Chain A
Amino acid sequence: MNEPKTVNERVDRTMAEGQRAIRAAIDLQPVLVVLYALLLAVIVGGVLIWVTGGNPFEAYWALLRGMFGSWDRIAASISRSTPYVGSALAMAFAFKAGLFNIGAEGQMLVGGVTAAWVGTWAWLADVPAVFAVPIVLIAGIVGGGFWGGIPGVLRARTGAHEVISCIMLNNIAILGVRWLVNSQDPIVLRDPAQSVPRTADIAEGARLPTFVESTPPLSAATLIAIGMCIVFWFLFSRTSFGFEVGTVGANPNAAHYAGIGVNRIISFTMVIAGSFAGLAAVSEVSGNQHHFQPGVFVGYGFDGIAIALLARTNPFGVLPAALLWGSMLSGAGLMQQEADVGIDVVRIVQSLVLLFVAADAIVRYVFRMKSHEPGSDLRTVETGAAA
């Protein structure tokens, strides 16, 4: 290598080395892939809008304004995105152990209804907020954790694939919770004073403080969501339990030979994953609605899967991914109003983003990006049941 002869050359060399160091420290490529995937999805969505007779530019402009057009709308976007964080973390944490927790839908429902039930207990009305709020939150965590634990235990004990048991439990939860809340004869959890089937309002003390009165209101639920990400990060990266979870995910046989109780880890992981979902549900109930209505939670679980994949199961990546997802849904209303384009287009764009992120090779090919990592963290993982 030629030694730099002039000052200019020396400066150039240092700059180049510095850039290389930065690029090595902050791996930007996954972010770039997501951004390009978003671009590609938006283009395809625009074509769809144009094909069905709409004006894509008008539609997207309305969407953007609906998402971030005013302070109120920004607060609404953030608030709308909050429940997705918990359900995405539910999927992400299980994925670290090689498990596919697609039961977040059911886990949120069970956690939410448990919390709403506990929140309406008679003695809770007189308890100060500093105790009432944690009690209700714990109820949600326990409910979600229980519902998440079932597929985990089934997988650990019987080898039943958690995908199928999660989906069955989702449907059972949907039907069961619907009955609990709708049933008028006998009345189980339904509030007879309301015309719409829902539970009674939870105690004043059990509600989370609200910061901005947007629709939906921005409350401490968002802080809880951020807290969940930090807990996830700490649990996974800074505890031995988290290390065991990651090892089981990478290679269950190696973990077994290392003396890690694989079945125990699988069960606990699913319980914790379910707890994330339950906590997301209870913070929605406690901070936003103040009661439980099953219809509100439709789709949070499944979208959480998508967001977890978008964030490549990184807890801090979940925050911007959820924000993107939730604000798109929040802004779709304005798009419908002004450009007469239905919310389904937003859903298609979302699934296309997911498709392009999952198939990042497509994005790389289109944008001529060199493949950075031979084994992406979303590659095939053998999910055999450990002995």
Chain B
Amino acid sequence: MTTAVAIPGKAVVTQRRFGRRRITSLTFAVLGVVLAVLVAPNLSGDDKSFAFERPPDPAKITFDPPTLVTAVGILYLVLAVPAFLGTRWDRVVVWAQAVSAALLIPLILAIALALSDTTSTNVTNLLDESLVLCTPIALGAMTGLWSERSGIVNIGIEGMMLSAAGVGFMTYAVLGDGTATGWMWVSLVIAMLTGGLLGLLHAWLTVTFLINQIISGVVINLFALGLTGFLRSEVIVDTGVTSGKALPEFGIPLLEDIPVVGDQLFRGQPIFFLMLVTVFLTWLVMWRTPWGLRVRSSGENPHAAETLGIDVIKIRYQAVVLGGLIAGLAGAWFSMEASAGFEDAMTNGTGFIALAAMIFGKWKPFPALAGALLFGFSRALGARLQFLGVEIAGFEIPSNFWQMLPFVVTLIVVAGAVGRAVPPAAEGVEYRRSR
């Protein structure tokens, strides 16, 4: 169902009558009606509130759930209208849909509060947790970015993270007994190097031996599982150290005093800050330096790059190893920052969620960070909703469902809720030097 739209001065543009944009707006409109008519009247009328600062005595916004839900419902209906008005309104539609998506957050929280026994929930905590939880995902996304921008598909990120977590903590337990501060930093470096080593393996297998890149990634994941299980049962358990000191939390002196934002962004553990730095540096190096340009061209058209004298093989090795080092940092987050210890398979699919974040960000660093934040937020939200003990008609939603939330969100994102994402052109394709 396409109609040809003639725009004066431009070529004829064919436009689907019911494209993705309209379907999204229609979905929001229907949701709005459902909210206003079905959901709101059935919610309890007790006042609930959102807290915005750390206790004690946080600043609060109190509201009446049915009113809020009805208001949001009507707003959704209004925001859905521009999509049906014509091409002139396209910019407004994008903005309207972004606002609708953003409104989902207070909406879900409000409904959750109304369905549970708690009267208030702290919103800043939620943001805090999202930022913390997004750290390994964002780092993993950077790993994937470096690798895939150079043309090598890397699904072994999970394995790289896991091995780094295991080896890093093992070093800490064996050499530093889980308590020494100096050895902690050494273990961090060793964790990064482990990731880099596995990156080197992946590069060696895919660039030199031309193994199918997905298979190489799967092999790395399986190998990491076996290796870390072995290390844990043979080495870590023997040391008797089950948990140690985590990396210290600190704040940047002046910046952390900024009212709401300062506490979130400028106070945290080292790897969190390193993540922000990594994302920024990735953007800077890849889009503002000659070497970054070479990396990108190796991924788009390696043969053309070769004609300009770029050593594609060397560039790919460098990019994948760099990605591996970043993955090592992400792994260290698991066993040395989020918790100080090592469990089997503690990465729990984060490497793959990182890939989804990268695709969400269309292979660019800052949008990928936004994607990581989204997934971190869904993890934090899941934990928060579980904590609130939400009940629907007397049926308490089980914890498993909340744990599913990040995976479902990833699935929706990957299935194209954000439009078709185009990867670097030469990704996954065998490259042999021209004779």
Contact = CB atoms under 8 A, between A and B. Distances in A.
Indicate, yes or no, whether A interacts with B. yes
Interface of B is mostly: helix
A171 B219 contact: no
A27 to B, nearest CB: 20
Nearest to B228: A344
Given A179-B401, A305-B218, A342-B234, A380 B226 contact: no
Contact of A361 (B209, B212, B219, B395): B209
Contact of A380 (B212, B349, B359): B212
B388 interface: no
Contacts of A48: 230
B226 A347 contact: yes
B233 A179 contact: no
Given A171-B349, A186-B395, A348-B227, A358 B400 contact: no
B59 interface: no
Contact of B349 (A159, A167, A302, A305): A167
B341 to A, nearest CB: 18
A381 B410 contact: no
Interface string A84-116: 000000000000000010100000000000000
A382 B233 CA distance: 40
B404 A171 contact: yes
A160 B418 CA distance: 11
Interface in B203-233: 205, 209-216, 218-219, 222-223, 225-227, 229-230, 233
B415 A381 contact: no
B251 interface: no
A354 B234 contact: no
A158 B227 CA distance: 36
A160 B414 contact: yes
Interface in A145-183: 154, 158-161, 163-165, 167-169, 171-172, 175-176, 178-179, 183
Contacts of A270: none
Given A169-B411, A344-B230, A164 B395 contact: no
A261 B212 CA distance: 26
Contacts of B401: 175, 179
Interface in A181-229: 183, 185-186
Contacts of A102: 218
B283 to A, nearest CB: 24
A351 B219 contact: yes
A348 B228 CA distance: 10
Nearest to A352: B223
Contact of B429 (A186, A302, A344, A380): A380
The range of chain A's interface size is 35 or more
Contact residues on B (Cβ < 8 Å of other chain), bracket:
35 or more
Interface in A120-139: none
Given A52-B234, A164-B359, A178-B400, A382 B410 contact: no
Interface in B395-435: 395-396, 398, 400-401, 403-404, 407-408, 410-411, 414-416, 420, 428-430
Contact of A165 (B229, B230, B414, B428): B414
A63 interface: no
B226 A344 contact: yes
Contacts of A165: 411, 414-415
B368 interface: no
A147 to B, nearest CB: 13
Given A164-B414, A186-B395, A380 B430 contact: yes
Nearest to B224: A351
A380 B211 CA distance: 6
A172 B211 contact: no
Contact of B404 (A159, A175, A361, A379): A175
Contact of B223 (A183, A355, A378): A355
B352 interface: yes
A176 B214 contact: no
Given A172-B404, A358-B219, 17 more contacts: A102-B218, A159-B420, A160-B415, A160-B416, A164-B352, A164-B359, A165-B411, A168-B407, A168-B408, A178-B400, A185-B396, A302-B225, A342-B230, A351-B222, A351-B227, A378-B212, A382-B428
Closest 7 CB pairs of A and B: A344-B230, A347-B226, A158-B416, A179-B400, A351-B223, A380-B430, A348-B226
Interface of B: 155, 205, 209-216, 218-219, 222-223, 225-227, 229-230, 233-235, 349, 352, 355-356, 359, 395-396, 398, 400-401, 403-404, 407-408, 410-411, 414-416, 420, 428-430
22 contacts: A159-B416, A160-B415, A164-B355, A164-B414, A167-B352, A168-B349, A168-B410, A171-B407, A176-B400, A179-B400, A305-B218, A306-B222, A344-B230, A347-B226, A354-B223, A355-B219, A358-B211, A358-B216, A358-B219, A359-B205, A362-B209, A380-B212
